Amino acid sequence: MSSPPRRVWYASYGSNLLEKRFLLYLRGGRFSPGHTSHPGARDQALPLKPPILLKANYELLFSKWSERWGGGVAFIKPNPQMASCWIRCWDVTEQQFFDIAAQENQLSPGHLNLDISKLVKEKQLDLGAGWYNEVLHLGDLNNQPILTFTASSVVGHMKPSTAYLSVLIAGLKEASSLSNTEIQEYLVGVAGIHGQWTQQELYKVISQTVDP
């Protein structure tokens, strides 16, 4: 009798904060017109546990140009001084996490098979190519490792589009009781937004984003 698959937490911090968006990486489908369709994971089972929102010792930033979103997208970098980045932790199997990481790097589900024990020991693994080529171990929660991915190197910053920000903001509203002002305070100084969006413009997008 085979043992059940090991479960991990996938930590999202960008558009996958929103459940509807995240689930496409498990179940497959298209988020909106103009977006490519996601194949979904090999195992399309839903998370067994509710997601958990917490802050990590990483800093949110926006960089690169996404044709899908029409602007910059989210990445994180270490911030040892303080826990400053909201992450929403989704309960998935190791294989599901591999397939999420593959899709984020324009690879087919099944393409990646990572050594989680090595990742937990070394805290990071380099996939070699792709926008989200660095896989990170952020710690543990309820005896499960918290895993995510980002760029190993970010050169420059890029203003995110209203469409992308709206999805990120909707995810924060869905996951928390943060007020519009608290979300504004969280985002206003982020690289890619600071100096590109005025406080008034940012607050308008936040206030017009409906709580799912």
Q: Which residues pair with 90 in a beta bridge?
A: 10
- Residue 113 belongs to domain with CATH number: 3.10.490
CA distances from 163 to 10, 51, 160 (A): 23, 23, 8
pLDDT of the residue at 158:
97
Q: Is the pLDDT of residue 109 over 90?
A: yes
- Judge whether 81 lies within some domain: yes
- What residues contact residue 114 under an 8 Å CB cut-off, 6+ apart? 94, 98, 101, 125, 135
Higher per-residue confidence, 211 vs 122: 122
Q: Is the pLDDT of residue 90 over 80?
A: yes
Q: Whole-prediction pTM value?
A: 0.95
14: containing domain = 7-158
pLDDT of the residue at 35:
87
- Judge whether 82 lies within some domain: yes
Q: How many residues does the chain have?
A: 212
- Judge whether 100 lies within some domain: yes
- Residues 16-46 have pLDDT tens digits of 999 999 999 999 999 988 888 999 999 999 9
- Judge whether 177 lies within some domain: no
- Judge whether 137 lies within some domain: yes
* Short-list 81, 116, 102, CA closest to 9: 116
Q: For 54, how many CA atoms within 13 A lie in the half-sphere containing its CB?
A: 15
- Judge whether 176 lies within some domain: no
Residues of the chain with pLDDT > 70, as a percent, come to 98
Mean pLDDT, rounded, for 83-97: 96
Domain count, the chain: 1
Q: How confident is the model at residue 92 (pLDDT cuts 50, 70, 90)?
A: very high
* Ordered strands of the 85-93 beta sheet: 52-56, 85-93, 7-12, 144-150, 134-141, 124-126
